[in-house]
Chains A and B, each alone.
Chain A
Amino acid sequence: MRDKWVVVGAAVCAVCGVATLFVMAQQSEPASCEIASVNEPGQYVACTGIVYYVREKDGHLFVKIFDGGTIDVPFFNFTDTISVGDLLYVEGITALYHEQLEIIPKTYTVSNVLYGVCTNSRFRTIRGVFHGELDNGIHAVKGVADGDHLVIEQELPSHLFVSFQGRISSRTKGTPSAFTLCGDPRTFFSGFSEHPIRIGEVSGFGVQIGEEVTVLYYQWDELMPEPIAEAKERPEGYSVKVCGTIQSVRGSGGHIFLVIADSTGCILIPVFSTMQDELGVDAEHFYVGQTITVVGTIAVYKGAPEILPDVIT
């Protein structure tokens, strides 16, 4: 009989205890904090950051966010959509995986952000141009578009972003959306687009993590043609656009060597066999006297400048 009461007492206490734990769990609030202050596993935290990296694998989504610091957020068996540039609010418990801290999400909210440059209340973004009450300069805002008018709900602090401006010198191999700028050691990832950004003038802004910049907004302009003599003075790696008449065409080992000239001078254009498919040209494509426009990068071979072509038209 005594044991019976022990069982009843224990069962009642257990049920009440489990209920209490449920209530406590529901009522526990996360500590809102900056990512940089998240430094140990097991913390219940709430962080907000810009998504700068997304990878999907086996139905799981692996996201990295940035608010000045960075942290990983893995979403297991995930069916929703999160894209680079979105603002992610995440509540969860921090855990250590492969020596890296990550937030295992309990709840999350994804918001779209418009990135762009405002001039005279005209806010130019990748999704269009809006009228908005913003100062001149770069902005990242959460808002609701009413026609071409933007009602701003929240603006992200501008110190999170780095601006860039320059001439694209090359695309990074294996990553079509990545490029580098002349003289700039950083690598730029065009987070919005899978398509490569061609050689040209580019300006914009993004978030910088180490030596890599995830581009959130950019404007691209075609290069203006310049005299061959001026192009030859450019430093190695500089991208140029020249227009000239073919003076000679020579083939060797499957490669094509063109010399083009304008009124200021002449320059060699080597079209290597490995590049011919990408450029859409072959030896029969060229003839002496033909006028062509070449966009490419200045290189120096045996002391003489030449242009490694990116586009020939």
Chain B
Amino acid sequence: MNEFFLLVTACAAGCFLGVFTGLTPGIHVNTLLPFMVVLPVSGIIGAVTIFSLAVTHTFVDFVPSCIFGIPDGDTALSILPAHRLVLAGRGYEAVKLTVVGSLGAFIVSCILVTPMIYLIPVLYRISYPYISYILLFLIFFIVLSEKSVKRILFASGIFLLSGFYGYAILSSPLISEDVVLFPVFCGLFGLSTLFVSMKSQSKIPFQSIDSKIHLNPSEIALNVVKGGIAGILVSLFPGIGPAHATAVMSVRSSPRQFLVAVSGVNTANAVYTLVGVCTIGKARSGAAIAIETLVHVNVKTVGVLLSCGLIAAGIASVAALVLTQRILEVLPTINYRKLMGFTCSVLAVTVWITSGVTGILIMAVGLCIGVLPIFLGVRRAHCMGVLLFPILVYYLGLTF
């Protein structure tokens, strides 16, 4: 009974911290982990706190992304579709779609855990030697899915430009690797969205806080499963993150379908990095590494963590929706351009604090690249070349 109380308390603490990391721009789960180590928690209690934190983060980090256009590595591509919904007065629906996607993917992941414990080692062994070909396939798939030759050319150009941009930053010591993605995504996806919408919009429409979702149940279920399975694949392949899977999933999806799937990828990935530690001994996230140092991750541990994760998912869903309601209630009373200007300032100041003048330069270059797909009428997923290209270069053993 005492241990149950401790686990629930740890879970609640993780949720609280997850809401904090999810809502605060520039703060990731990994940012808090060094502080977690010095806290007087250990073993399964510490692991539950960290896992609940990671799960909650994947629910709540869509709130600032959807409403204010503040990106992080996992949510960057969701900004434009979510922002479209915000400008159509459907901001609450946008966040709700991500909550449904995350919660659904978490449940799907829990159901699939047992078969995946046996399947993941086999899939990993088979696929590991072909990572570079899988990446190449993903890249061609994303670029060639554009509808005309002209757009394919634009997409190729944007992919290569983003790729060289990513390679220049990620393969060099210009900025600490802990914070390097923040200015990159702020520029590519955050500021570019805000910049373009500020150009065309002067007022935020009334935000309807109703429970209606304009997707039928079969579409929701399909995209939840899509996100869940993509999350599993992400946890399998080294070098392929949620952002890459998101880029692939943005092909032929409506904004609403995309929001459900993309949120599912992040949550399923949080679950399956844990399963990955248990089955193939590979920790592919900061949270998984921290959990691995605290407890021996076996099937029983995974069971305990997933049970607590379910509680965290429930709390995080409610927290994300309640917070969104509160924010959206006051949003229409604010001058849109001033709000967007303020958001841009917050992003710029945060980038400056975390990565200095170099970070500002990186963000500015990212902004220039990020506006191109919007004006050229191609998907922004091509900007994910920023991550795909350097990893492909690494796996092909190339250097520039």
Residues of B within 8 A of A18 (CB): 161, 164-165, 168, 365
Choose from B176, B368, B369 the contact partner of A42 (Cβ within 8 Å): B176
What residue in chain B is nearest A21 (Cβ atoms)? B168
What residue in chain A is nearest B171 (Cβ atoms)? A25
**B1-53: which have CB < 8 Å to A?**
37
Contact (Cβ within 8 A) A10 B375: yes
Quote the shortest CB–CB distance from A11 to chain B (angstroms): 6
Most A-side CB within 10 Å, residue of B161, B168, B177, B372:
B168
Contact (Cβ within 8 A) B375 A7: yes
What residue in chain B is nearest A7 (Cβ atoms)? B375
**B353-400: which have CB < 8 Å to A?**
358, 361-362, 364-365, 368-369, 371-372, 375-376, 397
Contact (Cβ within 8 A) B168 A22: yes
Interface size class of A (residues with CB under 8 A): 20 to 34
Contact (Cβ within 8 A) A7 B376: yes
What residue in chain A is nearest B358 (Cβ atoms)? A24
Does A111 belong to the interface (CB within 8 Å)?
no
Q: Mark A86-103, 1 if CB is under 8 A from B, else 0.
A: 000000010101110000
Does B293 belong to the interface (CB within 8 Å)?
yes
Most B-side CB within 10 Å, residue of A17, A26, A42:
A17
**B321-362: which have CB < 8 Å to A?**
358, 361-362
**A12-46: which have CB < 8 Å to B?**
13-15, 17-18, 20-22, 24-26, 28, 30, 41-44
Whole-angstrom CA separation of A215 from B372 in the bound complex = 60
Residues of A within 8 A of B368 (CB): 10-11, 13-14, 17
Contact (Cβ within 8 A) B372 A10: yes
Residues of B within 8 A of A10 (CB): 368-369, 371-372, 375
Choose from B178, B289, B361, B369 the contact partner of A20 (Cβ within 8 Å): B361
Contact (Cβ within 8 A) B172 A17: no
Contact (Cβ within 8 A) A41 B178: yes
Does A154 belong to the interface (CB within 8 Å)?
no
**B271-306: which have CB < 8 Å to A?**
289, 292-293
**B48-91: which have CB < 8 Å to A?**
none
Residues of B within 8 A of A30 (CB): 173
What residue in chain B is nearest A95 (Cβ atoms)? B177
Quote the shortest CB–CB distance from A9 to chain B (angstroms): 8
Q: Mark B109-151, 1 if CB is under 8 A from A, else 0.
A: 0000000000000000000000000000000000000000000
Q: Mark A109-149, 1 if CB is under 8 A from B, else 0.
A: 00000000000000000000000000000000000000000
Residues of A within 8 A of B176 (CB): 41-43
Whole-angstrom CA separation of A77 from B371 in the bound complex = 37
Does A284 belong to the interface (CB within 8 Å)?
no
Residues of B within 8 A of A44 (CB): 173
Contact (Cβ within 8 A) A28 B372: no
Residues of A within 8 A of B178 (CB): 41-42
Which 10 residue pairs across A and B have the least CB separation, nearest first?
A: A42-B176, A17-B365, A25-B172, A44-B173, A14-B368, A21-B168, A13-B368, A10-B368, A14-B369, A22-B168
A-B contact pairs, 12 of them (CB 8 A): A7-B376, A10-B372, A14-B368, A14-B369, A17-B365, A18-B365, A21-B165, A21-B168, A25-B172, A25-B173, A26-B172, A77-B397
Q: A7-B375, A97-B289 are in contact. List 12 more A-B contacts (CB 8 A).
A: A7-B371, A10-B369, A10-B371, A17-B165, A17-B368, A18-B165, A20-B365, A21-B165, A21-B365, A25-B168, A42-B176, A42-B178
